[in-house]
Structure 1
Amino acid sequence: MEELLQVGVITQTHGIRGEVKVFPTTDDASRFRDLKHVLLDTGKDTLSLEIENVKFFKQFVILKFKGYDNINDVERYKRCPLLVERSDAVPLDEDEYFITDMIGMQVVTDQGEDFGVLKDVLTTGANDVYMIDHPSAGEVLVPAIKECILEVDIPGRRMKLHVMDGLL
């Protein structure tokens, strides 16, 4: 399992005082209020940044990092992901999982047949949709509902599903 989890991506600078506009990649953007520090993945190395101020603007989070006081200090970090350590992640409720832990897991049917590999998770308004790479049908979209998804075993890297009529 990944020890670092992505919570957002810096999209651009905000103003001239070193603030950045962040697109949150977490379910709950308000979690940024409680974050004290994040890790910035520059592509070459990882920087630990202390969060000095948090504001919200439309679907974005505006962050100010301690010691970064003008636009020139943060301009080079556009498109860089912001990460947190797993220990700083928001606790999950029952039947909730980190997407990064699910990608690549084997999917089998309740009949024990190989159904494919979980390729991606699409977040929609009503429920998530699992994109599964099926051996013969190609890409299959499966709703993440209790009627379809019977079991998710993160440590075992397996998901069991019931194939509803019309799914294939």
Structure 2
Amino acid sequence: MIDRFRVGVITSSHGIKGEAKVYPTSDDQNRLKKIKKVYANIKGVETALDIETVRFQKNMALVKFKQFNTPEEIQAIRNTDLFVDRNNATPLKKNENYIADLIGLDVIDEEGILLGKVTDVFPTGANHVMEVDMGEKKVLFPYISQCILDVNLEEKKIKVHVLDGLLDL
């Protein structure tokens, strides 16, 4: 399991006081308002950044970090990912998993036959979808209870029910 989760990406500077435009990558866009510290890899050095303020403008968070005070300082760290520690991540509900923990898990069917590995999980309008690399093709499994039967992080396996027609494409 990974220890940190990405919550946003610095896209550019905003204004003259050193605010950063951050594109939120968490399911909970208000997540940035609830945390006080994020981590970033800045020029090869893992750096803790203290959040002073967060406000929103359209789909972007405008974040003021204690460590930066000019637009030029923010421009120098454009396209930098922001992470939180696992213990500061959004708490899980029953039968929920962090997407980052699912990537790379083996996917098996009800008979225990290996189908492939999880390469991505992403939201759609109704539910999340799990992309599984089956070697010669990639298949999208709906992340719903009728399809996802069991997630075992210790064994690094996800047991699925293959819905009729899912593998026919």
TM-score, scaled relative to structure 1? 0.95
SS at match of 1:29: coil
CA shift, 1:66, in A, is: 1.0
User: How many residues in Structure 1 have an aligned counterpart in Structure 2?
Assistant: 167
Task: Say whether residues 1:165 and 2:164 are aligned partners.
Answer: yes
In structure 1, the residue matched to 2:103 is 103
CA contact under 8 A between 1:41 and 1:83: conserved in structure 2?
no
**Secondary structure at 2:30's aligned position in 1?**
helix
Q: SS at 1:73's partner residue?
A: helix
**CA deviation string 1:111-163 (max 9, x = no partner):** 21111111111211210111001145x10111011111000112221000001
After TM superposition, give the deviation of residue 42 of structure 1 in Å. Answer: 2.0
Corresponding residue for residue 75 of structure 1: 75
Alpha carbon RMSD of aligned pairs, Å?
Answer: 1.1
- The CA distance in 2 between the partners of 1:102 and 1:43, in whole Å, is 29
Equivalences for residues 134-149 of structure 1 within 5 A: 134-136=134-136, 138-149=137-148
Question: Residue 113 of structure 2 aligns with which residue?
Answer: 113
Q: CA distance change for structure 1 residues 126 and 43 in 2, over 3 Å: closer, same or farther?
A: farther
SS in 1 for 2:75: helix
- 1:107 maps to amino acid: V
Partner of 2:4: 4
Q: 5 Å matches for 1:84-99?
A: 84-99=84-99
Equivalent position of 2:65 in the other structure: 65
CA distance in 1 between partners of 2:145 and 2:84 (Å): 30
